[in-house]
Every structure is written in C-alpha cells, then in structure tokens.
Structure 1
Amino acid sequence: MVERSNSMQARHADVVILGATPGGIGAALAAARRGRKTIMIEATPYVGGLMTSGLGMTDIHSLDAAGSVFREYASNVLNHYIETYGPESEQVVHCRQGLRFEPSVAKTIFARMMGAESNLETIVSHELVSVEKEGDSLTSITVRPMGGGSETVYRADVFIDATYEGDLAAKAGVPYSLGRESRDEWNEEYAGTLYQNFRTKEVLPGSTGDGDDRIQAYNFRLCLTKNRSNQAPFVKPASYDRNDYASLTEDVSAGRVKGFSEVCNTVMIPNGKTDTNNYHYCLCSTDLPEENQDYPEGSWAVRDRIVKRHREYIQGLLWFLQNDEELPEWFREDSRQWGHAADEFEDTDHFPPQIYVREARRIHGEYVFTENDARRAPGLGRSPIHYDSIASGDYGIDSHATRKREPIGQNIALEGFMAIGFLTEIYQIPYGSIVPQRVDRLLVPVAVSATHMGLGTIRMEPCWMQIGYAAGVAADVSLATRRHVRDLSVDRLQDELLADKQVITYLKDEPWGTETSKAVQYFGARSFFPGYEAHPDEDVTVAQASQWIAISRLLPGGKQLPCLPATAAILPAGADMGPKAPKQEPTPEQYWTDQPYLTAAMARRWSQVAARVMNAPQGEWFAGEKETVTRGQFLNALYGFLRTARQH
C-alpha cells in the first residue's frame, strides 16, 4: 500500500474501487483474480473497515447462506488459529469456525488475501475530490492525499463505490435516501417511528410509523479484556461530561442494570478478548443516538468532529463505570476488571480507528430492497424470489436507536431500536439493488438501494463482502462482454458467481459447493421451488421435467432445448418396429399415469439430442445402473446445456 500519490497525475485501471471496506475488498479480490487491473482507494490509513476495527463477532447466524469470499475468509481465520495454537486449542473453539476473530487477525488475513493478487493495488489516506462523466457514464475520479498534496486522476472502465457513506455515488449524481421511510411508502409493517421492548419484542404506544430523516446510532466496537497482563487502562477524556451517563445510576439502583456487561455487551472472541458493542437492553450504552445526523453528507472535517465526539463519549462512559462515586462499589469493582486489549490498535491508543457507520446514504437503484424482501412471501414457503439474485443474506432485520432516552420509552425502549429476527427469513439480494439510477459504469454494493428496514439486514459485513464480490465479478463480466454493468446478462453473471461457489439461493437440502448445487441454486432463482427445499435426491417425474424444459426455453441459452420424447418405448434405429397396433396400446394419459417417472434411458435420449442441437458436450449426467433420474441430476443436465450455450 502507498500513502501518497506517485508523480503520475493520471492513471488507468480496468476497475477502480473507492472504499477498502469488506465490501470493497470482496470486489477487489473478485476483479483482480479475473486478471483485471484493479485499484482500490481508501480515505483512512486502514483497510478492512469494521472487521479490522473491532467487529470480531460475525453478524450472521451461520455459514449456511454464505459462500465464495466470506467462506474463504472464515476458513483462513480458522486455519490461522489451528496453525498458531493447535487444532484442540481454546482459541480454535472460541473462533467458532472462523466467525469470531481478533482485529489484528482480521488485519493479517485481509493483508494476506490482498497481497496474493498481483493485479490489485491498494492506496490509503486519499480522499475523493471530484468525478468526470461523459453523458451518464462515469469516466474518472480525482483524489488527493488526506493531508493535502497533488491530485491524481483515475480512469477506469468500471467503478465500484464500496464506501459506507456512498460518497462516490453521491458525487456522481446518483439519487439517494437518508433516514426512514413511513409504513405506507413501501408497505413495511415495522417502518418509521417505533418503540419496541427489545426483550419481549412488544411494540409500545407512540409507534406511529411516520417517516423522518433520522439516522440510526453509531458507536465503536471495542476490543476489551480482563487479562491484567494484556490490559491498557480506560482514560478519562478532557471533554468528560458526567451528565451523559448520570441516568445509569438510577438504572443500577432500580436493578435494570446489574453489571458492566449490561452496559457494554462483551462478546468473547479468541485470546480472552471481546467484541464489545452497545448493550441492547440498556438505555445508556455505547451508542450515541441523534449525534450522527450530519455524518452521511458531511465533509471530512464534520465527520472527524462527529467521530471525535463518539470516541470521547465512549471513553467517558468507560471511565464513569469504573469511577463514578454514585455507582455502588460492587458495580465499580466489576467494571474495573476490564481494560483495553493492549496488543490491539496500538497506533490509536488501543481504541478502534473506524467508527461504526451502520447506515448512511442509500442509493436509488433499479430495485429497492425492503423489509418485505427479507420476510416470508405470501403464498410461498420462503422469502420473495429474485431472478437476478447475486448473494444471500441471513441476519434478522434490526435497527439501533434514532432518539435518546425519553419518558415515552418507559425506561424500556429507545425510539427506533428494534429487531424482528423472528420474522426474518434467509433471503436473496437482487443485482438491481447495486445498479444505480442515472449513472452508468458504476456499482454500489455497500450503500445499496434499500429502505431503512431493508438495509437493517443487508448492513452486515459478511453480506456486504459477498455483495462486493458479486460487484467485482459483474465488473469482469461487463468488460468481457463489452456491455455496461446495467445491461449485462444476469444469467452469465450468475454462472460466474456459482462457479465461484457464491450462494445465490439458499436451500436446506443441497450442500454448499457441489456441482448439483450450482444448478439447483440457479433454478431456485427462477422460481422452480416454492420453499427452501429442492428435493434433489427424489426421482423426477416426466411432468416436472417437461415443465422445467418449457420454462428453460425462455431463459438465455435455452431456445433450442428439445422436448422430451413422447414415449419411453422408442426403439433404436435398425430395430424392427412391427408388428405394432397403436390403437390397442394405452392412451398417452394412461401411459404416463402408469409410468410417472423419467427413466434414465429416456433422459439419455433427450440429452443426446440436446447436446447435438446445442453443440454441447453430452456429459455423464444419467450414467449408472439406476433406472430413474433424480431431480438434481436432471436440473444439473439442464443447467449444463444453458450455461454452455451462454458461453458460445
């Protein structure tokens, strides 16, 4: 990485990415691995966003809906702890298959993954100054060192805005939203003004569902420890204001708060450290509602002021918990067990450098992802199906508070602080949500096109990382096919993503990463399955196979697909067919009622004709001694023919 522009004032790359967040890293790895010259530019001195800045407890339920680059990252984390401490070590147990990690480990893993790519260059400490467009097409961006210095122009064929704030999209003229939509705008049940008891999920009076411009609260994800030998003390900031925290004394007296970890949520990660977050049941924790309103559209000077306020607020909170004399001694003693992990964030006084921007701008894209896209679709056994799915998400919709403590919250709720994980399903993320309106040659995988409620589940780093990866693959497909990212073949993009083991359709009964899973996921995005099960090991009926062929003729590459033979009793050429009395044989209806399942012999005949007319290899899809064909086998063959045709 370099920290100053070189003497060259204009540079060109295939793909230029703004923002070295996990979403940006995912995009950069995807593009660079496909041979594209890729430059990633970051405003801060740090790479990795929140994942290297304290967020060590991965916000997904499991790896089931994750694929490609995030699985690779998690595998690298697990291998790090195995190789460093041994396979039976407590560190391996605490890393939970790579889903929990220390900030320094995340930094090491990302550096290793990025350093392996010769086509990738990362430039840090540079800010966006301006953009150039030809008509609607973004053609270049100009950046300069954060501390001042000469400007450099970067031209590219595809740009990717992976910033948390959507800065490049905004500068390029992409329309966007801030704040919260009302219930009525997108028919979202939990949108707008809401007071919820976070424990019971009961909705309280005052929940009018009105929209507004409020931004959910930010904080920092701290890395703390009880290990005295690796502890740096909490520091009282010069701006300390006890009034910020005084309400906690009453909470403690009333029994609403019973210790340090009921103010600061201390989730354990390896080596006795924590990912310390806001405690969701405490009304005065590390979040700072209302004081981030100017951040999304603010200059860097404005943002720095807001970051400083949040940092000093949290420093003051930690000092208060250990030292305020109105807190009981037992509480202060409990708090004094904790300190910053001394071997983390050593260049920033053990405090994470990146503020947690949970939400900022949300672009207006070709599709707007809403609360309803992550809930059970009426009439289906799953979330809504998206033809253009590029990734899957698995985190309950939530939002942090948008208002400070107030009487209407009844010492139970902060307005805007809500979660409906009990209603959230594993969902698909459509390509249209990262394709902005009005501006071409640009993809936006982090500040995606979503409502406040929709972003409430997408906004998790593993999800952003996978969407970023899809954006990087889309950039490559755009370049390879010489089509704008807006106009590229979604099917071709999905072929590439599935080849890289991205999960575009989650299914309970098809293991991740198999050959059949590619076909099943692809057709899952074509509404072949009404729920989360494809039943790939069940025998396929001729009725189902015929229907699938008919639908597939409408898909790119499928117009030449032949019908199934009208009978399973066709003799090979050269065999004498007579004597034969067709009128004495069963009717077609009776014939297929008696023989409802597709036979392997019939499937082989069909695939031989399909391979010939589509100029494709026949494959061994129906080889073996089994007389019937499974659903997975037939879909695998069908997908193979479509994919081959699209590559021609």
Structure 2
Amino acid sequence: MHRRDFIRMLGAGATGLSVMPYVSGPYFQGTPHTETDIVIFGGGAGGLCAGLQAARLGAEVVILEPSPWVGGMITAAGVSALDGNKHGAGGGLVHTFREELVAHYGSYDALETGWISLYNYEPHVGQAILDRWVSSEDNLTVLHGVAATGYERTAQHRRRISITPVDDCYLPANCQESERTLTCRIFIDATEYGDGLPLAGIPYRLGRESRDEYGEVPAPAEPDMHMQDLTYAATLVRDPEGTPLPVADTDRARWDFFACSTTADCENPDSDYLGHDVHSWERFITYAALPNDKYLLNWPHHANDYPVSEAFFEDPFYRKKQLRMAKQHTIQFLRYMQTELDHPEWQLATDEYPTEDHLPPIPYIRESRRMVNNSVMTLEDVVPTHDNPRAPIQPDAIAVGDYFIDHHHARHHLPPDCRLNEDYPDNAPFQVPASVFVPDIEDPCVLVGEKSIAVTHIVNGCTRLQPVVMLMGQALGVMAAHAVHDDCAPADVSTGRIQHDLIDAGCPLYIVYDITPDHDLFEPVQRLAQAGILRDDDPTELDPDAPLPASWAARWCDRADLSEAIAAPGADQPLRYNDVRAPLLNALNEDSDVVSRADFVAALHTVTNAE
C-alpha cells in the first residue's frame, strides 16, 4: 500500500497528524493491516527524533503515540527547560530545536528566564516546532491515541504489531476493540514506561541493582524496588488578579508534606535534618521561570514529585489510578502556593495544553523498565578516571551527555533515621555506546530507546535528560534505517557507519563545548575523536584562537602516528610554526609564528583524513 493511501485510510490527514487530539473512527474503519519499514512505539523525545532521522534516511516510519502530542518530556510532559548538553554538547535535532526557539523568542538571552536551564520555553511553542518537523517528512506518519498491544514474529525479518486505542488498553484482551496490525522490519520501544519490552519478550528490570552485580560501590547491598519519582508538572502563569482555588479542610490536611519546600513555610530549615537546602520563595519562583511570565512547576523539594512502585509499571489499572493521584498532588501543591504561601497570582495556564484540566497530557517519567543485556552502562562509564575532564572513551559512542547523576526520591526528605540515602560521585561529560540499544535476545528486528536503554538505576540519573535522549533517538533512527536498507539486524550495522551519519547530521559524539555543530571545526574535532586522537584526557573546551601547547601537539601527533611531524620543544611552550614538519607543515596556515589550536586541529584532520 502506498504511504499516502495508508494515511488516508487512517484518517490522519496529509501530515500524519490528526486534527483532533486522538485518531478515532476512520482509523478503525479502514483496511485492517498494512506494512511499513519501522514502527516506533512512543513519540516522545527519543521516539520522535528516531522517526525523523530514519525518515530522512529514506525509511518509511510509523510512530504510535498514546497521547495527543509528540515530544514527550520536552512538550507533552511540560518539562520545557532543557537539562544539560549546553552549547556544543547539544547538536543534531537538539541544536535545531534550540535554534528554532531562538527564532521564535528573538535570542538565546530570551531563553535564559530561569536559573535551572539556559533554554526555557513555553510548551506550546515547542510543540509547534515539532509539528512542523513532522509535517515536513513525507516518510513519517504519527498515529495518536493508540498503543502497541501485540508483537508477533511472522518471518525472520518481519514483525506484526497489534494496535489498540489507548482507552481499550486497560481492558482484558478479549474485551478490546478489534485490533489493527502493522507489519514492520524494525520495532523500536521508545515509550515513557518501557511498555514495549514485555511485548517483545525483552528481559528488563525495575528498581536498583545490588552493589555486587556491576561493582557500583554506591549501590545498595541488596537489590530493591526503589525507583525515581514521577512528576505531574504544571505550567503556571502570573495573573495579578488571580484568585486561589477553593480549599477544603481535607485539602489542608495534605499540606504537611509541603512544609519546607521554601523558607516561606519552614519552622526548622536544618538541611541535615531535611536532606536538602531550603530555598527562598524568590529562588523557588525563578527556578524554572519561562518566557511570558510563566513558570514550570517541577520543584524537587517537598513539592510535586510523586513516588511510584513496581505495580505502577506492571498493572495498567493501578497506573491509571496513580496518575490521577499524581495530578491531584500537583493541584494540592498549587493550592498550597496560592493559599498557605499567599501567592494567588500564580494560576494554571489555560493556553498551553489540549487538556480539560490544563495539565500536561502526560507525566514526567524519570525512570522506567530498563533493558538487561550484556552491555549495561554502569557508573564507571560516566565517572572520569584520574584527573581527566571526561568519562572513559566509548569506541562505539553514538550520543553524549553531561548532566549530573540526578535522582528524585520523595524518600530523600524523610527524617534521617528512615531516609533513602543515595550518595554518588561526580560524573563528567560521557558517551553513550550503541550497545545499550540492542537486546541480547535472538531477534534481529527490535531496538530499545528512551529511558529503557541498558543502564543501571544509578546511571539512569544522567542518561534520562531531554537532550541526551533526543541524541540517542537520532542514533536509533540511523541504526534502524541502515538495518532496513541492508536487510540485516541492527546490531550488524557498522558502528563507524552510524557515527559517520550522525556527525554529518551535526550530532556530537565527543563533547567540546565551544565547538558547536555550525562551527568550521565541528567535523574535524568529531572525526579526530572518532579516530581515537582526541581522548578522555583532552580538554572539554578548545579555545580555538589560543596558541596550541606543544605538549598537546606532541600527544595528538603521537596518537595519529605522526610523531615525526613535531620537533621536541619544551612541553609548556606554545607550538611554533618552525617546530612543525611534513606532512602537517603543508596543511598549516603560516599566519603567525605561533600555531593556533584551530589551525592545528584543521591541519591534523586534513592529514589524517587523507591517509
């Protein structure tokens, strides 16, 4: 079936997006089965980027998104303040997204409204950007309001995916509306919860691993089911004429938990007893300030974080109930802000989301089911050795991140004798290897993304953030598109080929903060890192116009088997033009006596690329 006929059959419109919040009627009245190259279950930050990248490489892609919006964390969950991967660490679609935000708001300075992020924006603005991206891709179809509920192997390289309306997903299989199916070459689980893992028979875990399992010293002695809280975020707007939400005595009874969320209501601001510093109201309300006098309510201390358990992931009825309660918890905190803290001017924004309650369509899920394979990413993969400025190099790197190991647990704020204590070392800019996407099961048709990649509970704290998930999504898209083209298993796609395409797409595989994707040195730096010439002991900023230390030149030439190209000057001296020999000499610009870092990197790339 031709793709455009497929879209008409689904009643989804020319762009692949329904005009209504959910695909309904016409979808379930058409042909019950069709084929595509790639099915992505989940159109969140990672799933959408995977779909866009695969479509741009020629694959036909269908995204199944249960909610009315694509984007996941960055729009549909309302977490409209990008965490980490600043400057040159945020390339690819992350960079494009930030640039389009700048085009809307006028400057990067206009995005620095809150102190939690350099990139703050209104969710509906982000959603409009993503909608434009989707509508521009003829090979990409997004179906809203549906979920994958079945996974069947029909041939060695073919999988049949059953699709059900989201409301029916809570019913027993024999009570669900008649399913429709898609047959695909590659199935990607990019859901917020890891709901595709049990469908495809992929081993997974929830909670924390034991200390002995992966040698992570800060892990607990025994495995347990502690996992990060979810948050039902809210977008607020300042209205000087605002009035408080109605408050009953039963509401006030729930507010004890909120005490010490700020100094405005805290009898004992002892950080040792509380487990966190207590911030002022001003500090709180500027934390995630958004443009146009709005605010992202996603405060980590005694506020709207909401604990989850194993049943939340495994029992759909329980999940639905808990999500209702998480919403109520956020509304209770808003009542507390308006009444107890005496700030009725902060109201729910009514112009952000396509929901009746004006809350985001989905919650912010920090931790989900996590795949278990033989290449689980552990603490030693994100913590630097010796005094290096980076974590150890991953030869098969396909994405980068730099956020600290950030875990949200309401249990952190219990009294000291019953508190959940987690004390982790400082991590550093890190690389994500391609192996975290690939299950060990004998299935050449499935990949895993979002927060369900093969990482430990600890490492999830730094791989779960929006930019790194988006970059991982692009890598998934490249891997899946090549697997389709070559009719092979994703694991058999050459890592070098994936890395090459990602660099061409402006995705950094090695963080150098002052070399952004639009910089002339972006490709030279990335290719030199790919070749193993730039490593974990090299700086995270290049300062391109500065003189190059001779010790750097000698180290890099040694790694490139060009040690004869550099004379042996003092290690602390700047490299001079007269110290350089062929073949590097011919590639340098003789603009001054001292060689700049930019000129040397460009010359080294030219020479090593030619060889």
TM-score by length of 2: 0.79
Partner of 1:313: 329
Partner of 2:84: 60
Partner of 1:267: 288
Partner of 2:429: 426
Say if 2:41 and 2:47, in contact at 8 Å, map to a contact too.
yes
The amino acid that maps onto 1:70 is V
Q: What CA distance in whole angstroms lies between the structure 1 residues aligned with 2:41 and 2:298?
A: 27
Q: 1:448 aligns with which of 438, 445, 453?
A: 453
Deviations 1:453-477 (A, max 9, x none): 1110010011111100111011122
Q: What CA distance in whole angstroms lies between the structure 2 residues aligned with 1:567 and 1:57?
A: 47
Q: 2:97 aligns with which of 50, 73, 85?
A: 73
Residue 389 (structure 1) aligned with residue 397 (structure 2): yes
Query: Which stretch has the larger CA shift, 595-604 or 183-192?
Result: 595-604
Q: Structure 1's 434 and 236: CA in aligned 2 closer, same or farther, altered over 3 A? A: farther
Residue 532 (structure 1) aligned with residue 568 (structure 2): no
Q: Secondary structure at the match of 2:312?
A: coil
Please give the root-mean-square deviation of Cα atoms over the aligned residues, in Å: 3.6
How far is 1:245 from its partner?
A: 2.5
Q: What CA distance in whole angstroms lies between the structure 2 residues aligned with 1:338 and 1:118?
A: 42
How far is 1:80 from its partner?
A: 1.2
Query: Which stretch has the larger CA shift, 378-387 or 135-144?
Result: 135-144
Partner of 2:132: 112
Superposed, 1:117-196 pairs within 5 Å as 117-133=137-153, 139-148=159-168, 149-192=177-220
The amino acid that maps onto 1:274 is Y
Partner of 1:245: 255
Q: Structure 1's 503 and 232: CA in aligned 2 closer, same or farther, altered over 3 A? A: farther
Q: Structure 1's 155 and 287: CA in aligned 2 closer, same or farther, altered over 3 A? A: same
Say if 1:506 and 1:532, in contact at 8 Å, map to a contact too.
no
The amino acid that maps onto 2:435 is G
Q: Structure 1's 508 and 22: CA in aligned 2 closer, same or farther, altered over 3 A? A: closer
The amino acid that maps onto 2:314 is E
The amino acid that maps onto 1:533 is P
Q: Structure 1's 504 and 542: CA in aligned 2 closer, same or farther, altered over 3 A? A: closer
How far is 1:521 from its partner?
A: 2.1
Identical-pair percentage: 25
Deviations 1:131-171 (A, max 9, x none): 01268866221111224433121122222211121111221
How far is 1:418 from its partner?
A: 6.1
Q: What CA distance in whole angstroms lies between the structure 2 residues aligned with 1:119 and 1:456?
A: 34
Deviations 1:600-631 (A, max 9, x none): 46776xxxxxxxxxxxxxxxx56889999964
Partner of 1:44: 67
Q: Secondary structure at the match of 2:490?
A: coil
How far is 1:50 from its partner?
A: 2.3
Say if 2:367 and 2:464, in contact at 8 Å, map to a contact too.
yes
Q: Structure 1's 634 and 80: CA in aligned 2 closer, same or farther, altered over 3 A? A: same
Q: What CA distance in whole angstroms lies between the structure 2 residues aligned with 1:91 and 1:516?
A: 27
The amino acid that maps onto 2:497 is R
Deviations 1:60-101 (A, max 9, x none): 16233111001101111111122xxxx69x856638997111
Q: Secondary structure at the match of 2:37?
A: strand
TM-score by length of 1: 0.75
How far is 1:316 from its partner?
A: 2.4
Q: 1:294 aligns with which of 290, 311, 321?
A: 311
Q: What CA distance in whole angstroms lies between the structure 1 residues aligned with 2:156 and 2:506?
A: 33
Q: What CA distance in whole angstroms lies between the structure 2 residues aligned with 1:8 and 1:225?
A: 45
Partner of 2:113: 94
How far is 1:314 from its partner?
A: 2.0
Q: What CA distance in whole angstroms lies between the structure 2 residues aligned with 1:258 and 1:533?
A: 34
Residue 599 (structure 1) aligned with residue 607 (structure 2): no
Query: Which stretch has the larger CA shift, 434-443 or 461-470?
Result: 434-443
Q: Secondary structure at the match of 1:348?
A: coil
Partner of 2:10: none
Query: Which stretch has the larger CA shift, 247-256 or 491-500?
Result: 247-256
Q: What CA distance in whole angstroms lies between the structure 1 residues aligned with 2:197 and 2:215?
A: 27
Say if 1:508 and 1:533, in contact at 8 Å, map to a contact too.
no
Residue 353 (structure 1) aligned with residue 365 (structure 2): no
The amino acid that maps onto 2:218 is Y
Deviations 1:531-574 (A, max 9, x none): 23397874899986875456xxxxxxxxxxxx99x999xxxxxx
Q: Structure 1's 210 and 81: CA in aligned 2 closer, same or farther, altered over 3 A? A: same
How many residues are aligned here? 547
Partner of 1:215: 227
Q: What CA distance in whole angstroms lies between the structure 1 residues aligned with 2:69 and 2:243?
A: 22
Q: What CA distance in whole angstroms lies between the structure 1 residues aligned with 2:346 and 2:405?
A: 31
Structure 1: give runs of 5+ residues left out of the alignment: 193-208, 324-331, 551-562, 569-594, 605-620, 643-648
Q: 2:55 aligns with which of 19, 32, 47?
A: 32
Q: What CA distance in whole angstroms lies between the structure 1 residues aligned with 2:585 and 2:228?
A: 55
Q: What CA distance in whole angstroms lies between the structure 1 residues aligned with 2:260 and 2:588?
A: 71
Structure 2: give runs of 5+ residues left out of the alignment: 1-16, 169-176, 270-277, 567-576
